[in-house]
């Protein structure tokens, strides 16, 4: 009997936990890759921009996340990394996205199951137009009901705008502080950079991207009297 067989005979539950986590990582990486390619088709993550993550396990915390610098139009599951709570790579090869700190901050403060970040045209343009206000409001749209816990169009969704910054640790601290004090928020903008949103699971996070992108375009096109 080999040592390997012995160990798995002695502690089968640990082995099966590892296998289950591996399967879950694969499923999430598949789903994230498919979402990434569809966002690329819509022009939301051009030029290797954007990044996507989903929680593989909560204890210990493990995230499937896009490595830095990939063409999202050709994104494949095999390219994803698994990282721990300190952004160390525990599965796969490559460097995790430079903005990993923001993903971890969102997961920690909101208990999010998935975080999606796009560089769309309207989030880029409007985050600049409203930057002096520090936020923009999406008000009275039926589409808002697709956001978690919103049950009527009579809702004013506030999308905070952060000044863009290359110091991600500092930005993550600002984001974490805001998310703790503004539990109603479903996403935020980085100025001339893009949108961050999240969900309890990946389907909800994808839905939030679509809703916020749609409402940003509606706001943008309404501003000139259409």
CB-nearer residue toward a second copy: 84 or 201: 201
CA nearest neighbour of 84 among 104, 106, 113? 104
**Location of structure tokens 């969704």:** 157
Q: Which stretch binds a second copy (CB under 8 A): 2-10, 16-24, 59-67, 208-216?
A: 208-216
CB of 226 to a second copy, least distance (A): 5
Which of 57, 89, 91, 141 touches a second copy by CB under 8 A?
Answer: 141
Residue span 77-116 as binding mask against a second copy, x where in contact by CB under 8 A, dash where not: ----------------------------------------
Phi, psi of 154 (to 5 degrees): -80, 65
Which runs of E-coded beta strand occur in 30-88?
A: 51-57, 62-65, 81-83
Q: Which residues contact 144 (CB under 8 A, 6 or more apart)?
A: 138, 150, 153, 155, 157, 211, 215
* 210 is a site residue for a second copy (CB under 8 A): yes
β-bridge partners, 187: 197
Q: Extract the tokens encoding 9.
A: 């005979």
CB-nearer residue toward a second copy: 62 or 116: 116
- End-to-end CA separation in angstroms for the chain: 75
CB of 184 to a second copy, least distance (A): 18
CB-nearer residue toward a second copy: 149 or 154: 154
Which runs of E-coded beta strand occur in 119-210?
A: 135-139, 156-162, 187-190, 194-199
Pairing of strands 187-190, 156-162: parallel
Q: Extract the tokens encoding 29.
A: 């990486």
Q: Which stretch binds a second copy (CB under 8 A): 11-19, 43-51, 85-93, 101-109?
A: 43-51
CB of 116 to a second copy, least distance (A): 13
* 149 is a site residue for a second copy (CB under 8 A): no
Distance separating alpha carbons of residues 157 and 212, to the nearest angstrom: 10
Ranges within 20-39 binding a second copy (CB under 8 A): 38
Count the residues in the chain. 226
Which of 1, 142, 149, 181 touches a second copy by CB under 8 A?
Answer: 142
Using CB under 8 A, list all residues that contact a second copy.
38, 42-43, 46-49, 71, 73, 119, 121, 124-126, 128-129, 140-143, 146, 151-154, 164, 166, 190, 192-194, 203, 206-208, 210-211, 213-214, 217-218, 220-226
């Amino acid at each position: 009997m080999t040592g390997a067989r012995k160990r798995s005979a002695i502690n089968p539950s640990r082995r099966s936990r590892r296998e289950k986590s591996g399967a879950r990582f694969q499923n999430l990486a598949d789903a994230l890759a498919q979402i990434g390619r569809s966002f690329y088709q819509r022009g939301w993550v051009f030029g290797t921009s954007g990044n996507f993550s989903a929680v593989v396990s909560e204890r210990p915390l493990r995230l499937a996340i896009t490595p830095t610098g990939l063409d999202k139009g050709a994104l494949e599951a095999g390219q994803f990394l698994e990282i721990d709570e300190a952004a160390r790579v525990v599965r796969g090869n490559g460097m995790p996205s430079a903005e990993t700190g923001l993903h971890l901050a969102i997961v920690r403060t909101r208990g999010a199951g998935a975080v999606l970040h796009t560089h769309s045209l309207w989030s880029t343009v409007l985050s600049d137009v409203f930057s002096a206000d520090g936020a923009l409001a999406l008000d009275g749209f039926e589409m808002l009901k697709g956001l978690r816990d919103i049950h009527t169009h009579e809702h004013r969704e506030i999308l905070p705008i952060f000044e863009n910054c290359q110091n991600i640790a500092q930005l993550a601290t600002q984001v974490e502080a805001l998310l703790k004090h503004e539990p109603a928020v479903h996403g935020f903008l980085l100025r001339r950079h893009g949108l961050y949103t999240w969900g309890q699971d990946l389907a909800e996070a994808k839905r939030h991207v679509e809703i916020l992108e749609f409402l940003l375009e509606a706001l943008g096109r309404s501003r000139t009297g259409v």
